[in-house]
């Protein structure tokens, strides 16, 4: 990045504390998964890594939280890498316009999920990985640990269990897809894998690092190894732009203007291809299930630095 951009980024990070005071901490912490409700709602962290490896951070950026649906970007990456174009025979790439846990379109479209980021689509991706990997949970964890460069990244069994005990909708989606022969494995095994990947715990710093390949044509900035091809990177970013925020994807594009993905733990990742990755965390969610302050701060950031993709 040039010195003008560097100055703009530094300035915005210095202004963050003042800016945060002006954004009321609205919304609610997710409680439909009871274990998620125990988080301190005042937490806030942000970490940004530029394509030339500069780091900017503020707040609770090293504190781990439940990444929830952000993990769907990582599972899609591994499934796309293993399955290549065949993947798109069983799943679409269109925005759903519905909530992440909606069953509505799944019935209309005969068990083919609209995209890999709504729950139905992420569950289908889990089915792909259960077929492809000998030990899905272990091998997926190894993949994530290598992306972050931290062998201690782990699932949270407490949260995975809490999701399992309350995962009626997710169970209904897998069963429904199975009735259309679009799930090849045992329903319980697919669900168990899905609940575990949603329970992954990472900090903003770790998340921003994990997805550096999405701002660098597929290459992990830490290991300098190719995670996926430039063409697949482009496609994953495109799906994030269109589907990463469910029925608020338009609003995120409108306000922030970057490909991104949210999770009900209050985390958001966003990508500026060839420029930077950023992860932000603030647990209170708006009515669409996306971090309220997280979205506001990213809007402030891309506006002040004039660095959206549009
Ligand atoms: N584990 C959550 C669920 O299945 C993930 C939802 C999300 O983060 N949007 O409901």
Domain range summary for the chain, segments of one domain joined by + = 3-305
pLDDT at position 2 is: 87
Regarding the beta carbon of 68 and ligand 1, being less than 6 Å apart is answered yes
45's tokens? 């962290």
d(CA 29, CA 47): 21
Nearest to 254 by CA among 207, 295, 202: 295
Regarding the beta carbon of 147 and ligand 1, being less than 6 Å apart is answered no
pLDDT at position 310 is: 94
pLDDT at position 133 is: 98
Give Cα 288 to chain centroid, integer Å.
15
Pick out the chain residues at pLDDT < 70: none
Q: How many residues does the chain have?
A: 310
pLDDT at position 45 is: 98
88's tokens? 């798109």
User: Per DSSP, what are the bridge partners of residue 291?
Assistant: 285
CB 157 within 8 A of CB 199: yes
**Residue 106 Cα to ligand 1 middle (Å):** 17
* Single pTM value for the model: 0.97
Regarding the beta carbon of 299 and ligand 1, being less than 6 Å apart is answered no
Question: Whose Cα sits closest to atom 3 in ligand 1?
Answer: 119
Regarding the beta carbon of 244 and ligand 1, being less than 6 Å apart is answered no
State the catalytic residues.
Answer: 69, 72, 194, 246, 264
User: Per DSSP, what are the bridge partners of residue 280?
Assistant: 46, 268
Cα three-residue angle 295-205-137, rounded to 5 degrees:
100
Question: Which atom of ligand 1 lies at the shortest distance from residue 68's CA?
Answer: 8
Regarding the beta carbon of 100 and ligand 1, being less than 6 Å apart is answered yes
pLDDT at position 1 is: 84
CB 245 within 8 A of CB 184: no
Q: What are phi and psi of 134, to 5 degrees?
A: -70, -45
User: Using CA of residue 163, residue 164, residue 165, residue 166, what is the dihedral sign?
Assistant: positive
| Residue of 119, 126, 244 best suited for mutating to test ligand 1, as the one with most atoms within 8 Å of CB | 119
Question: Which atom of ligand 1 lies at the shortest distance from residue 32's CA?
Answer: 10
Regarding the beta carbon of 101 and ligand 1, being less than 6 Å apart is answered yes
pLDDT at position 258 is: 98
**Residue 58 Cα to ligand 1 middle (Å):** 26
**Residue 264 Cα to ligand 1 middle (Å):** 6
Regarding the beta carbon of 163 and ligand 1, being less than 6 Å apart is answered yes
pLDDT at position 224 is: 96
d(CA 303, CA 118): 28
- In CATH terms, is domain 3-305 a member of 3.40.710.10? yes
Dihedral angle over CA of 100, 103, 105, 106, nearest 10 = 110
């Amino acid at each position: 990045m040039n010195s003008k951009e560097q100055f703009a980024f530094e300035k915005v990070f210095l202004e963050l504390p003042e800016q945060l005071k002006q954004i009321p901490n609205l919304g609610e912490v997710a409680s439909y998964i009871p274990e998620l409700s125990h988080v301190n709602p005042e937490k806030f962290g942000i970490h940004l890594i530029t394509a030339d490896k500069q780091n900017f951070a503020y707040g609770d950026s090293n504190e781990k939280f439940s990444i929830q649906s952000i993990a769907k970007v990582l599972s899609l990456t591994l499934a796309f890498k293993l399955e290549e174009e065949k993947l798109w025979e069983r799943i679409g790439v269109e925005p759903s316009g519905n909530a992440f846990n909606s069953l509505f379109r799944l019935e209309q479209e005969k068990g083919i999920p609209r995209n890999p980021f709504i729950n139905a689509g992420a569950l289908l991706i889990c089915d792909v990985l259960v077929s492809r990997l000998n030990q899905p949970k272990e091998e997926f964890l190894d993949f994530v640990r290598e992306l972050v460069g931290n062998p201690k990244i782990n699932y949270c069994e407490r949260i995975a269990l809490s999701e399992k005990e309350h995962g009626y909708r997710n169970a209904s989606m897998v069963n429904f897809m199975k009735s259309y022969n679009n799930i090849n494995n045992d329903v319980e095994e697919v669900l168990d894998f899905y609940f575990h990947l949603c329970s992954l715990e990472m900090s903003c710093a770790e998340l921003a690092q994990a997805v550096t390949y999405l701002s660098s044509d597929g290459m992990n900035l830490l290991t300098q190894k190719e995670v996926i091809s430039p063409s697949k990177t482009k496609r994953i970013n495109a799906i994030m732009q269109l589907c990463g925020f469910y029925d608020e994807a338009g609003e995120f594009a409108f306000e922030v203007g970057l490909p991104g993905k949210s999770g009900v733990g209050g985390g958001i990742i966003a990508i500026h291809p060839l420029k930077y990755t950023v992860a932000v965390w603030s647990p209170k969610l708006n009515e669409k299930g996306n971090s309220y302050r997280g979205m506001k701060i990213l809007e402030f950031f891309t506006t002040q630095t004039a660095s959206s993709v549009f």
